[in-house]
Amino acid sequence: MPGRNEKRLLDASQLLITTMQARHLTSKDYQPMPWKNGQGSTTQLVSAANAQGGFDWRLSIAEVGQSGPFSDFSGYDRIITLIEGKGMILTFNGTMRRRIDRPFAPLPFDGGWRTDCELIDGPLRDFNLMVLRRWGRASMEILQLRDDEKCEIGAAPVVLLHVFAGTASLDHGDTHFDLARGDTLHLERPSESRLTAASDATIAAIYLEPRS
C-alpha cells in the first residue's frame, strides 16, 4: 500500500493525464486555403481561432510556385522552414536578405516586415508557424531521429508535433499515439512525454506559451 505522500503523487500524475487534451490530425483534417494576398495557396494543419475573427497561432504548409511578395501579417511572429525544393531568397524591408536553401532549418522573422520572395530554382514547399505576438511566443525544433531512437518532449501549455518523414510513437502516461508521415499531434497542457522513432524520422516539435 502506498504511503500518504506517495498516494498524493499518484493522484497528481493521474490529474495531469486526465486534464491533457490531445488531437491527432491527418491529411483529411487539413484545410486548403488561398494566401491572404491571393498569390499562392497554403494548407492549414491546425490553428487556434480568437474572438476577433483571426487566429492566435497557426501551423501550415505553403505551396510557393512563383517569386513575389509574402502576405502582410503585422502583429505576428513567424517561423518558416524549407521542406521541399531548391529554396528561396527572402528580402525583408528592401534591405535584409536571407538565402533559405537548407531543408529543415527554421528561420524566425517579423510577419509585419515587407517580405519579397525570389525562388532559387523552381517551386517549393515550406512549413509555417505564425503566432500573434500579444498572445504569446513559440519555439521550434527539428528532430532527426534514427530507427528506435527515443527523445523526451518537454512540457508546455501547447505542444505541436508534425511528422515530415518516417513514423514515430508518443507515450504520455498510459496514452499512446502512433504517428505516420504527414500527421500532426496537438497537445494542450501535457507533462513531459517520450517520442520513439519507429523508422528514421524527421519531426518538428513546437512549443507555444501564452503570455501571462
**Which carries the bigger pLDDT value, residue 36 or residue 189?**
189
Min mean pLDDT across 10-19, 106-115, 203-212 is at: 10-19
d(CA 67, CA 79): 19
Q: What is the DSSP letter of 212?
A: -
Instruction: Tell me the mean pLDDT in the region 9-24.
Output: 55
Instruction: Tell me the mean pLDDT in the region 119-148.
Output: 96
Q: Which amino acid is located at 84 in the chain?
A: E
Cβ–Cβ under 8 Å, residues 170 and 176: yes
According to the model, what pLDDT value does residue 19 have? 67
- Give the rounded percent of residues in the chain with a pLDDT score beyond 70: 90
Has residue 81 got a pLDDT over 60?
Answer: yes
d(CA 24, CA 183): 7
Predicted confidence band of residue 17 (pLDDT cuts 50, 70, 90): very low
Has residue 10 got a pLDDT over 90?
Answer: no
pLDDT tens-digit series, residues 178-197: 999 999 999 998 888 899 99
According to the model, what pLDDT value does residue 138 have? 96
Confidence (pTM): 0.87
Predicted confidence band of residue 40 (pLDDT cuts 50, 70, 90): confident
Going along the chain from its start, the domains and CATH numbers come out as: 20-27+136-210 (2.60.120.10), 30-132 (2.60.120.10)
Instruction: Give the neighbor-by-neighbor strand order of the sheet with 115-119.
Output: 68-69, 115-119, 88-92, 96-100
